[in-house]
Structure 1
Amino acid sequence: MFGIIVIVLLALTFAGYLKVERFADRKLNIVKEKIFTLPAGTGRVVLQDMLYQQKLIKSPTLFGWLLRVEPELGEFKAGTYRFPEGMTVRQMLELLKSGKEAQFNIRFVEGFRLQDWMQELQKAGYLKHDLTGKTDDEIATALGMKDAKNAEGWLYPDTYAYTAGTSDLSLLKRSHQRMEKTVDQIWKDRDTSLPYKTPTDMLTMASIIEKETAIKDERKEVASVFINRLRIGMRLQTDPTVIYGMGDSYKGTISKKDLETATPYNTYVIDGLPPSPIAMPSEASIEAAAHPAKTDFLYFVADGKGGHTFTTNLDSHNKAVRAYRDLMKNKNEK
């Protein structure tokens, strides 16, 4: 009789074990990807309740037994994780044990201003916002910038990955350090005959190039126009600097009055370069500023086909302007 009881108990135990193992290989109740945050200090019972309350598992009892049968699966770490569709209970616990938190991405676009980047940071999910409400001066100080009161131009455009709880300041520090390193390397290798006194001058030129053209093959020609103008004492007269100086008053168009209104950035009024960059330039634009093409160009205007027409004198430039206007007029009439 005792032997029969033992056999029955063993059979029941084995059946229970198989049930627990089948549960472990069962898929989580996920229709699409799930972002799951496990707070610090969460124990097995609390995790069990969280998963059940969020309807990720159907049996908290079997979950509890799984952690008893395989206690090594209970060594989970706090963090924010990505649960893909089709993930099993066992795979979920192995992920929580690994500590491989979900990665989120934010893209900082070249040609955008610091103000635009701050707006992107505000919209980013799972990010800690330490810079909300900070002035440009305060942001520069937080980044450790000693010689500038504005981080404009000094942040490297790229896509940055981060985990939940990362601060916006931490992301900008990574971007700033990368830009500092890039500028330092390019400055050392620049054409030393260029009329730059500091790396900031070169970066400022790069930001103007970035705003003037998105065509890679044109950047060095655009750079040559502005360098040639600087060398002969001719004003840069570039619209993006006017727009930057207008700040929030810019509504999409520039009037004659705007061109004549003095601001520290209006290159129709001031001589030389503006006092600081006007956008975040790409590395390609910095390279163009450091190694402009050797030309006699002093002017350029859009050609209506996505590029620009470069000319050496005002008469040729005016002809190019008329050609552009005629082309635009014909397009609008069609």
Structure 2
Amino acid sequence: MKIIKKIFKFIGFFLLIAIVLGGGAAYYILLYPNTNFKGRAYELYIPTGSDYQVISERLYPVLSNSDTFFWLAKGLQYTEHVRPGRYVIRKGMNNLEMVRMLRNLSQPIKLSFNNQDRLPNLAQRISQEIEADSTSLMNAFLNSDFLYRNQTDSLNVIGLFIPNTYEFYWNTSAEIFVEKMEKEYKRFWNESRRAKATEVGLTPQQVTILASIVQKESYQVQERPTIAGVYLNRLKDNMLLQADPTVIYAIKETTGKYDTIIKRVYIKDLATVSPYNTYLYKGLPPAPICMPDISSVDAVLSPEKHEYIYFVADTARLGYHKFARTLEEHNKNRQAYRKWLNNNGIE
């Protein structure tokens, strides 16, 4: 009887040891911190169509023990169900936290864009933030169904992209991106903004074109409604817009040198033959000369009401302008500006 009791004691002791060891191993595999990188977090990007090989290449190097991660990933069947996306691995995370996140929670990114002068620039900017490359984005931008659906063309389509900060998943495709932008455009051009466009005698597309000129004329947001008022006055009086930024764009458009920095417009430049040159052609140019931000669009929709017809850069307050009602007053302001340009050697 005593022998049997001893045997049971030994069995119980060994079971306890096994439980303790098993529990320790389980704790180590599941809950022990398993990161090995500097900084607070590591961003893991998993491309669409990836298998577990990508995990071993991109995640293993920042783990303390890749074997324990693999054992758990295998046990939870993650090795056969890798999901694309952007994942933020926080310092000190354990295997269970990481596998659960990789299985279920791709984290979105904040994507911002503003003031892209041309469609290829926009595509390049977006491709730096999401998985879609610039080629697939350009194809989506210029897709005939997309253009037809939004009653636009390849020149004006840039106006469909409202500069702002948006939330996307990193593995967003080009098609999903343009669908999201289409919805945002329709949300932006609500009844109130469309009513204001009608009040100033323009369509939303024309508002965007004029806003692009206002955008290029001044980086001072508070001054844009005044400039918008000048151009609307000129349109109302059937005058040429005579906007220097359109001449600069015309030069770039005719030469194909879009990266050229032009600081000064000369008399000879005003003869540049291009539909964008508002010194030669009345009305608005055929398309935006840049991507105007929301403040420029709203400046056109809510312009300052005044009698100004002319304006020129203010040399006493760089970045601002002097406005004039008469050509005589404007010529005085312009002469002072030209003198300042010459004195400062600005070519």
Q: Shared fold (TM-score greater than 0.5)?
A: yes
> Which secondary structure state, in structure 1, belongs to the residue aligned with residue 323 of structure 2?
strand
What corresponds to 1:168 in structure 2?
174
Are the counterparts in 1 of residues 47 and 84 from structure 2 also a CA contact under 8 Å? yes
What corresponds to 2:35 in structure 1?
28
Of 253, 257, 278, 1:249 maps to 257
Structure 1 gaps, min length 5: none
Map 1:1-334 onto structure 2 (within 5 A): 1-23=7-29, 24-32=31-39, 33-37=42-46, 53-54=60-61, 56-58=63-65, 60=67, 64=71, 78-80=83-85, 81-97=87-103, 99-110=104-115, 112-127=117-132, 131=136, 134=139, 138-139=142-143, 141-142=145-146, 144-150=148-154, 151-190=157-196, 192-196=198-202, 198-246=203-251, 247=253, 248-250=256-258, 251-253=260-262, 254-304=265-315, 305-327=318-340
What percentage of aligned pairs have identical amino acids?
27
CA apart distance, 1:298: 0.7
Are the counterparts in 1 of residues 34 and 65 from structure 2 also a CA contact under 8 Å? no
CA apart distance, 1:278: 2.3
Q: How far apart are the structure 2 equivalents of 1:48 and 1:210?
A: 45
The range that moved more, 258-267 or 84-93, is 84-93
Are the counterparts in 1 of residues 140 and 175 from structure 2 also a CA contact under 8 Å? no
CA apart distance, 1:125: 4.9
Q: How far apart are the structure 2 equivalents of 1:127 and 1:38?
A: 10
Are the counterparts in 2 of residues 38 and 77 from structure 1 also a CA contact under 8 Å? no
Q: How far apart are the structure 1 equivalents of 2:146 and 2:123?
A: 14
Q: 1:255 to 1:118 in 2, by over 3 A?
A: farther
Q: 1:74 to 1:3 in 2, by over 3 A?
A: farther
CA apart distance, 1:176: 3.4
> Which secondary structure state, in structure 1, belongs to the residue aligned with residue 101 of structure 2?
helix
Once superposed, what is the RMSD of the aligned Cα atoms? 3.5
Are the counterparts in 2 of residues 25 and 90 from structure 1 also a CA contact under 8 Å? no
CA apart distance, 1:325: 4.1
Q: How far apart are the structure 2 equivalents of 1:59 and 1:191?
A: 60
CA apart distance, 1:189: 2.7
Q: How far apart are the structure 2 equivalents of 1:214 and 1:152?
A: 20
The alignment's TM-score, normalised by the length of structure 2, stands at: 0.79
Q: 1:211 to 1:74 in 2, by over 3 A?
A: same
Q: 1:139 to 1:316 in 2, by over 3 A?
A: farther
Are the counterparts in 2 of residues 21 and 66 from structure 1 also a CA contact under 8 Å? no
Q: Provide Cα deviations, 1:285-328, integer angstroms capped at 9, x if missing partner.
A: 22221221111101111113221111111222222223334455
Are the counterparts in 2 of residues 113 and 152 from structure 1 also a CA contact under 8 Å? yes
The one-letter code matched in structure 1 to 2:185 is M
Structure 2 gaps, min length 5: 1-6
The one-letter code matched in structure 1 to 2:171 is G
CA apart distance, 1:216: 1.8
Are the counterparts in 1 of residues 214 and 296 from structure 2 also a CA contact under 8 Å? yes
Are the counterparts in 2 of residues 208 and 240 from structure 1 also a CA contact under 8 Å? yes
Q: Provide Cα deviations, 1:237-283, integer angstroms capped at 9, x if missing partner.
A: 11222233332235223443332122111100001111222222222
CA apart distance, 1:42: 6.1
The one-letter code matched in structure 2 to 1:252 is I
The one-letter code matched in structure 2 to 1:35 is L
Aligned length: 326
